[in-house]
Structure 1
Amino acid sequence: MRCTLPSVLVAAALSLTALSPSARAATPSPVEQTYNAVRADPVRLGLFLRAFPKGADLHIHLSGAIYAENMLDWAAKDGLCVSLKTLDILDHACPHGKGDEMPASALVGNEKATNQMIDAMSMRDFVPAASDRSGHDHFFTSFRHFDAIEKDHQGDMLAEAMDRAAADHITYIEPMVSPALGSMIGVGFHHPLKDEDFAAAHQVLKAEIPALVAQARRETDAMEHKAQAILQCGTAKAHPGCGVSVHYLFQTLRILPPQAVYAQLDAGYAVVKADPRFVGVNIVAPEDDTVAMRDYSLHMRMFQFLSQVYPSVNLSLHAGELTGKLVPPEGLKHHIREAIEIAGAKRIGHGVDIASEDDVAGLLAEMAKKHVMVEINLTSNDEILNVKGAEHPLPLYRRAGVPVALSTDDEGVSRGDLTQEYLRAAQTYNLSYADLKQMSRTGLEYAFIPGESLWDAHQVSKPVAACQTISSAQPESGPCADLLKASEKARLQWQLETRFAAFENSAPHESLYQ
C-alpha cells in the first residue's frame, strides 16, 4: 500500500497535537467514525482491519507460519511420501505406495486423505478425542507431521511468510529461525556442562563457535536467496512480499539437557553478534515440558551469563505460556519475573500467567517502568491454553501501562493471520480505533530493528524533537533527514505513518464501510 499524498494533507492527518485527548474523544475523526460504524458487523470490520496498516508481527515461528496445503504441495513436488497411519510427511519417496504409505502427489483427488493430513498438521476443526485429548497436545504434535519437509524449504517458507505479511498490510516481521541448530546441539553433547560453570563452558566452545556461526550464515544466505528468487524481488514481476522488511530472532530449544541448551544459546548469541540480519535470541518448545520446568531458572541464568559476554544481544523470551491445568501452582509464580530480572528480556512472549506471579502489582509496575513489551497471541492462547475473553490478561497489561502488541505466533498451524488477531481483540475487548493504532505503532517501536526511534521515549504519539512534522515526503536535509538516514527503525516507522495517512484518508470514502 504505497501512496504519495500532498504534504499538507498528510500533515493534517498525522497531526498529533492539534486536538487534546478530550477533544479527540468528543469529535471522532472520519476514520474513527467509519470504524465505529462497522464495529457491529464482523464481515465489514474484518475488511476494514485487513486494510488497516499493521506495524509488525514480532512473535512468529517461521515453521508454524506456513499452511499445511503449502507443505503438502512441496512434498508432492519433492516426490515424497506420506503416511496415512501417522499422518506424517515422510523423508523418502514411494512411487507406487505400499501399505499405509502413498505418494504425496496422489493426495490430489483424494479428499479424505488430504483433509486428514491438513487436520493433523493444523488446528483446523480440532475436536478433543481419547487419543488427541487437548488443543495443547494437538498443537505441539502438529509440527511433527511436517518436520521432514522443513529443512529443504526454508526459502519457500520465508517467501510465503513475506507475501502473506504483505497481503496483511504488515510493515515488518521478525521470524524465529534456527539455522545450524542440529550442529549446535551436537557440539553441546560433546562438551558436558559442569554444574553452572558457564565461563568454562564458554571457553571450551570458543574453538567451535566460528564454524557454527559460519554454517548458520550459509544456511540463512541460502534461505534468503531462495526466497528472493521465488518473490522475484528486484524485477518488474516482484511480489508484494518484497516490500516487507525482515530481521530474525535466533530460536533455541529448551527441552534438552543443560549442555545442549547452553551450546545453542552460546552459538545463537554469537550468530546475532556476527550477522546483522539477526537481532535477538529466543527459547522455544512447550514451557510446561518437564525438562523446561525443571531447568527454567537454570536457563535464565545461562541468559544472564551470556548477556554479559555479548552485552548488545536482545532477548525476547517465551515466558508465562502456562496455566494451572498444565503445571502446579508453584510453577506459575516466577517465570515472567525471572525472564525480566535474571535473563534481561526486553520482550515477553505470551505472558498469560501474569496474574499468578508473586507480587503481580509490583511486577506489572516494573514491566511498565522498564518498557518490557508483551507479545499478545490471542488465537494461540485460546487454542493451546484455552485462555480467552475475560480470562486473558490483555486488559490487565493495558490497565497497568505495560506496552503490548498483537502477533500471530503460528498462523499456518492456527489457520489465521494478524488481521484475525486485530479482529479478535477489537470484538472481545471493545478497543477503539486509537487503541488499535497504538498497538500497531507499538509493534514497530519495540521491534529489535537497528537505529533510533521516531518516537520520543516510547510515546508512540509523540515524535522526537528532530521530526516534529511527519509528511508523505521524507525530508532531504536537517535533523530529521539525518535521523531517517541513520536509523532503519525510524524509516520503517515513517513508512507506517505514511500508510496510516493514506488509509485514514481513503477508508471513510470506501463504499463497503458505508
Structure 2
Amino acid sequence: MTLANHQDRKGRSPDGSRRRWLRAAMAAVMCTSALLAGGTPQPAVAATDPTAATAARLDRIRGDESALRAFLQEMPKGADLHNHLSGAASTELLMGFAAHDGLCIEEGSLRAVRPPCAPGSRPASDAEHDQEFRRRIVRAWSMQDFVPGRETGHDHFFATFGKFEEATAGHTGRMLSEVADKAAEQHQFYLETMVSPDEDELAALVRTAGPDDSPARLLKTLSAGDGLRRLVEHTRKQTDRAMADFRTASRCNTSAPHAGCALPVRFITQVERSAPPAQVFAELLLGFELTRQDERFVSVNLVAPEDGTVALRDYDLHMRMLEYLHARYPATHITLHAGELAPGLVRPEDLRFHIRQAVLTGHAERIGHGVDARWEDNPEDLQRTLADRHVLVEVPLTSNDQILDVSGSRHPFAFYRAHHVPVALATDDEGVSRSDITTEYQRATTTYGLDYRTLKDLARTSLEYAFLPGRSLWTSRDGFTLVPECADDRPGDRHPSAECARLLAASPKAQVEWRQEKAFAAFEGAAP
C-alpha cells in the first residue's frame, strides 16, 4: 500500500493532529525550561516555524558582514533575469581566451585585436607571466580598482566591452558554462542571458533595406526573399554549437557534471539601440522570429547606453518599431532597458518618459534598471501603471552605483516596493562589475534593512516573472499562495499529491518554482 493510501482526500495523514499536538507540547516544554533557567521565554513559533527561525538567524547576524555573506550565499535566490553573457563572464576567463586565440593587446587602449601584433601592441599571452601587464588588463576590462577622475564610472564601464569584445568571439558556450555554474553554485534555479546576433550575417540582410524608418516598409523589404529565413537558420545552428560547447565545458554528459548543467537557460536577443534604424529593426525582427521558431529564445531587449546620441534621438522610433512587431508577434515577450538614466547625464526632458513609453508603446513586460523613476512625469501615476500591469523592474544595484552613481536613498528600489511594483535583483554584467548575485542580495539587505521574508519574496518573484512556459505554482502575482492543485501539499515536497504532480509535469515554470521551494525547505531546516 502506497503513502497516498494512508492520506485523506486533502492529502493529510490521519495522525497529523497528533504530530501538531506533540510539536505544541515540545514548544511549551522549551518555554517552561527557559523560565526555570531564569532566561527569557522565546515565542513558540521560533521552535516550530522554520521560516521564523531562519528570519531570527538573519537578524542575529546582519551586523556581521562575513556571516551575512555566508548566509546569503547559501540562501535560494531565484533567477537572474538581467544578465549580459559577455559582460557576465569573468575578466580572467576572457583573458584566457585572448591568450589561447593568439590575440594582441594594444598598449595604449588595452584593447584586444587580432594578430599579428603591430608596433604598440603585444601578445595577450604575456599577461600569463607579466603580473603588472595582467593587472592593467583586468582594470581596463572591468571595474576592478576603478576610481572616478577624468573618466567617469559610466564611461569606463561601457568602454570595457569594446576592449574585450574580440576575446569573446567563438566562445559563447565556454562563457555560458562559467556563468551558469556560478548561478547554480549560488543557489539560483534559472538564467536568462542576453546574446547578440552574428553581425556579418545580419549586415547582409540589412543591406537589402534602405534608410526608410517606416516599420511596415522595413518589414516588407527584410521579409522579401529568403534572407530572414537564412539568418534565423544560421543563428539557430550557432546556438546548437554554443550549447554543445557548453555541455562539453561543463562535463554535462559525464559522471561529474558541473552545477550549471541542471540550470534551465534561455536566451534574449539583444539589439544595439545606437545602430541605424534599419539595423535596429532587422535585429528586432530576428529576435521576434527566433522566439517564434526556437523555444531557447524567449525575448528581445534594446541594449547600449540609453543616454547615447542615437539612442535618445530614436527612442520614440524604437518604441514604435516594437509596437508594430508586437502586433504581429503577440506571443513574444519584451523586456527593455529603460530609465537607465540619472540627472546630469542627460537633459531634464529626457528623464520624463522613457519607462512609461517602454511599457505603453513598447509593450515591455519587464523593465531593466528603471533608475529615473522619480524624475518621470507624474511618478506616482507611473508607479500605479507598473503595479496594475504587473511590470517587473530588474534591479542590478551594483551596476546602478558604478554606472550612474545612484545608490541608497537615491535609488528607487524602496520607491518601487512602497508602491507594490514587483522587483527582482539581478547582476547585469557581473564580470565587469566584479560582483555576483549574492553581493546584490547583500547590498539590498544592508542598505534597505530587508528581513528574511522579503528576501524570500524577491527570490520567488524573480522566478514568477521569468519567461518560462506553463502555469505558475502560485495563484496570482500579488502573493505566494499555492494553486488549488497544490494547496494541501508542502511546497517542495519530494512526493506531491497526484493533482499537484500533474501540474508540475505540464509546467516548466512550476517545476523550477517547486525546486526552489524544496531548496528553501532545506535551507530553513539547516542548523543555525
TM-score normalised to the size of structure 2?
0.89
Work out whether residues 179 and 219 of structure 1, in 8 Å CA contact, stay in contact via their aligned partners in 2: no
Work out whether residues 62 and 68 of structure 2, in 8 Å CA contact, stay in contact via their aligned partners in 1: yes
Residue deviations 1:343-389 (CA, integer Å, cap 9, x gap): 11000000000001111111101111110000001000000000001
**Within the alignment, does 1:502 sit opposite 2:522 as a pair?**
yes
Cα distance, 1:472 vs structure 2: 4.2
* Alpha carbons of structure 1 residues 114 and 165: separation in structure 2 relative to 1, 3 Å: same
The CA distance in 1 between the partners of 2:351 and 2:297, in whole Å, is 31
The CA distance in 2 between the partners of 1:43 and 1:440, in whole Å, is 21
Name the counterpart of 2:216: 199
Name the counterpart of 1:18: none
**Within the alignment, does 1:121 sit opposite 2:141 as a pair?**
yes
* Alpha carbons of structure 1 residues 384 and 186: separation in structure 2 relative to 1, 3 Å: farther
The CA distance in 1 between the partners of 2:418 and 2:491, in whole Å, is 32
**Within the alignment, does 1:419 sit opposite 2:438 as a pair?**
yes
* Alpha carbons of structure 1 residues 149 and 480: separation in structure 2 relative to 1, 3 Å: same
Work out whether residues 205 and 228 of structure 2, in 8 Å CA contact, stay in contact via their aligned partners in 1: no
**Within the alignment, does 1:108 sit opposite 2:128 as a pair?**
yes
Give the letter aligned to residue 467 of structure 1: C
Cα distance, 1:423 vs structure 2: 0.2
| Higher alpha-carbon Rg | 2
Q: Highest relative contact order (Cα 8 Å, sep 6+), 1 or 2?
A: 1
Cα distance, 1:51 vs structure 2: 0.4
* Alpha carbons of structure 1 residues 121 and 477: separation in structure 2 relative to 1, 3 Å: same
Cα distance, 1:152 vs structure 2: 1.3
Name the counterpart of 1:178: 196
Alignment counterpart, residue 466 of structure 2, candidates 447, 450, 466:
447
Q: Secondary structure at 1:250's aligned position in 2?
A: strand
**Within the alignment, does 1:40 sit opposite 2:63 as a pair?**
yes
> Following superposition of structure 1 onto structure 2, how do residues 75-154 of structure 1 map, counting pairs within 5 Å?
75-94=98-117, 99-130=119-150, 133-154=151-172
Alignment counterpart, residue 288 of structure 1, candidates 286, 296, 307:
307
The CA distance in 2 between the partners of 1:470 and 1:449, in whole Å, is 23
* Alpha carbons of structure 1 residues 157 and 195: separation in structure 2 relative to 1, 3 Å: closer
Name the counterpart of 2:407: 388
Cα distance, 1:67 vs structure 2: 1.4
Cα distance, 1:193 vs structure 2: 4.5
Name the counterpart of 1:155: 173
> Following superposition of structure 1 onto structure 2, how do residues 304-319 of structure 1 map, counting pairs within 5 Å?
304-319=323-338
TM-score normalised to the size of structure 1?
0.91
Name the counterpart of 2:377: 358
The CA distance in 2 between the partners of 1:109 and 1:24, in whole Å, is 58
Q: Secondary structure at 2:82's aligned position in 1?
A: strand
Between the aligned residues of both structures, percent identity stands at 43
Q: Secondary structure at 2:469's aligned position in 1?
A: coil
Structure 1 vs Structure 2 CA RMSD: 2.3
**Within the alignment, does 1:430 sit opposite 2:449 as a pair?**
yes
Question: Higher mean Cα deviation, 182-191 or 72-81?
Answer: 182-191
Name the counterpart of 2:6: none
Give the letter aligned to residue 135 of structure 2: N
**Within the alignment, does 1:54 sit opposite 2:77 as a pair?**
yes
Work out whether residues 252 and 282 of structure 1, in 8 Å CA contact, stay in contact via their aligned partners in 2: yes
- List alignment gaps of at least 5 residues for structure 1: 1-6, 16-21
Q: Secondary structure at 2:317's aligned position in 1?
A: helix
> Following superposition of structure 1 onto structure 2, how do residues 3-18 of structure 1 map, counting pairs within 5 Å?
none
The CA distance in 1 between the partners of 2:501 and 2:351, in whole Å, is 47
Name the counterpart of 2:25: none
The CA distance in 2 between the partners of 1:81 and 1:345, in whole Å, is 41
The CA distance in 1 between the partners of 2:200 and 2:446, in whole Å, is 42
Cα distance, 1:70 vs structure 2: 0.8
The CA distance in 2 between the partners of 1:425 and 1:181, in whole Å, is 37
Work out whether residues 58 and 71 of structure 2, in 8 Å CA contact, stay in contact via their aligned partners in 1: yes
Q: Secondary structure at 1:500's aligned position in 2?
A: helix
Cα distance, 1:180 vs structure 2: 2.5
- List alignment gaps of at least 5 residues for structure 2: 1-10, 21-42
The CA distance in 2 between the partners of 1:475 and 1:503, in whole Å, is 19
Residue deviations 1:412-441 (CA, integer Å, cap 9, x gap): 000010000000000000000011000000
**Within the alignment, does 1:483 sit opposite 2:503 as a pair?**
yes
The CA distance in 2 between the partners of 1:268 and 1:447, in whole Å, is 17
Work out whether residues 88 and 429 of structure 2, in 8 Å CA contact, stay in contact via their aligned partners in 1: yes
The CA distance in 2 between the partners of 1:437 and 1:422, in whole Å, is 11
The CA distance in 2 between the partners of 1:177 and 1:385, in whole Å, is 23
* Alpha carbons of structure 1 residues 242 and 93: separation in structure 2 relative to 1, 3 Å: farther
Cα distance, 1:107 vs structure 2: 1.3
Work out whether residues 300 and 343 of structure 1, in 8 Å CA contact, stay in contact via their aligned partners in 2: yes
Question: Higher mean Cα deviation, 107-116 or 184-193?
Answer: 184-193
Cα distance, 1:66 vs structure 2: 1.1
The CA distance in 2 between the partners of 1:45 and 1:187, in whole Å, is 51
Cα distance, 1:201 vs structure 2: 1.6
* Alpha carbons of structure 1 residues 8 and 394: separation in structure 2 relative to 1, 3 Å: farther
Give the letter aligned to residue 58 of structure 1: L
Work out whether residues 304 and 343 of structure 1, in 8 Å CA contact, stay in contact via their aligned partners in 2: yes
Work out whether residues 51 and 168 of structure 1, in 8 Å CA contact, stay in contact via their aligned partners in 2: yes
The CA distance in 2 between the partners of 1:59 and 1:279, in whole Å, is 13
> Following superposition of structure 1 onto structure 2, how do residues 186-225 of structure 1 map, counting pairs within 5 Å?
186-196=204-214, 198-206=215-223, 207=225, 208-225=227-244
* Alpha carbons of structure 1 residues 8 and 428: separation in structure 2 relative to 1, 3 Å: farther
Cα distance, 1:458 vs structure 2: 1.0
Work out whether residues 179 and 215 of structure 1, in 8 Å CA contact, stay in contact via their aligned partners in 2: no
The CA distance in 1 between the partners of 2:512 and 2:382, in whole Å, is 31
* Alpha carbons of structure 1 residues 329 and 182: separation in structure 2 relative to 1, 3 Å: farther
Q: Secondary structure at 1:348's aligned position in 2?
A: strand
Q: Secondary structure at 1:251's aligned position in 2?
A: strand
Q: Secondary structure at 1:54's aligned position in 2?
A: coil
Name the counterpart of 2:40: none
The CA distance in 2 between the partners of 1:261 and 1:457, in whole Å, is 35
Aligned length: 488
Cα distance, 1:76 vs structure 2: 1.3
Give the letter aligned to residue 146 of structure 1: F
Work out whether residues 213 and 278 of structure 2, in 8 Å CA contact, stay in contact via their aligned partners in 1: no
Residue deviations 1:21-80 (CA, integer Å, cap 9, x gap): x99899871111111111011110001000010110000000000111111111112222
Work out whether residues 193 and 259 of structure 1, in 8 Å CA contact, stay in contact via their aligned partners in 2: yes
Name the counterpart of 2:30: none
Work out whether residues 454 and 490 of structure 1, in 8 Å CA contact, stay in contact via their aligned partners in 2: yes
Work out whether residues 208 and 222 of structure 2, in 8 Å CA contact, stay in contact via their aligned partners in 1: no
Name the counterpart of 1:19: none
Residue deviations 1:376-406 (CA, integer Å, cap 9, x gap): 0100000000000110000000000000000
The CA distance in 2 between the partners of 1:85 and 1:277, in whole Å, is 40
Name the counterpart of 1:169: 187
The CA distance in 2 between the partners of 1:505 and 1:138, in whole Å, is 44
**Within the alignment, does 1:302 sit opposite 2:321 as a pair?**
yes
